[in-house]
A and B are shown apart, each in its own frame.
Chain A
Amino acid sequence: MLIQILGTGCPKCHKLEENARQAATEMNLDFQIEKVKELQQIMAFGVMITPALVVDGVVKVAGKVPGVEDIKKMLAK
């Protein structure tokens, strides 16, 4: 599973990455996390608000930092 964190590196981006990593680890998923910081790449997803969480190419949330349990639900879908 490819988990991408879209954002230019603000505190919320780091928190989202941390939560996503914890969620995927606790679910024992085979995953890799990639940070996408370039605005052009971010906008290619149609994302206008960061941070955003992308799972296997699908943007799950933008502009918010969900908690670990909420991210687990997103990773399970």
Chain B
Amino acid sequence: MDQKKSCGCACGGTVSLLLPCSGAADTGEIADRAARKFAEGGCAAMFCLAGIGANISGFIASAKGADRLLVVDGCNLDCAKKTLAEKGITENIIHVRVTDLGIVKGKSPATAERVDAVVAELGKKLTASL
């Protein structure tokens, strides 16, 4: 099984999950690609925001049981963060918004440089939370 898709046991260490909005806009794409790149580092695992929106109990329980949720929204609509809030998930959230980094929605193709900027911000905020 792919390591990034495996589940984590609460007996060992902390569990951090990545939830990008993965929206249709360029900033949504940047959010998604940055989250996947960050996951490759092994500090957190990709997780399914859609599963939470679909009200699947396993996804909701897992999000509530994680030590940290790294939520990446592309713009100030904050769809990912609000989707979690709709299910009562408001704690242990580290929130990164792509447009807060000077990346303009609709005018910013998902280049490696922009993706890396979001990855760096994720790392910075995660480190600050430790």
Contact = CB atoms under 8 A, between A and B. Distances in A.
Interface string A27-71: 000000000000110110111111110100011111111000000
A46 B51 contact: yes
A12 interface: yes
Interface size of B as a range: 20 to 34
Contacts, number: 82
Interface string B4-24: 011111110001010000000
Interface residues of A, number: 26
Highest count of chain B CB atoms <10 Å: which of A42, A48, A54, A62: A48
A22 interface: no
B70 interface: no
Interface of A: 7-8, 10-12, 39-40, 42-43, 45-52, 54, 58-65
> Could you tell me the dominant secondary structure of chain A's interface residues?
mixed
B61 interface: yes
Nearest to B10: A63
Nearest to B60: A59
Q: Could you tell me the dominant secondary structure of chain B's interface residues?
A: mixed
Contact of A49 (B1, B8, B56): B8
Interface of B: 1, 5-11, 15, 17, 45, 47-48, 51, 56-62, 64-66
6 contacts: A10-B9, A47-B7, A48-B15, A49-B10, A61-B61, A63-B64
Nearest to A53: B61
A11 B10 CA distance: 10
Nearest to A51: B10
B62 A46 contact: yes
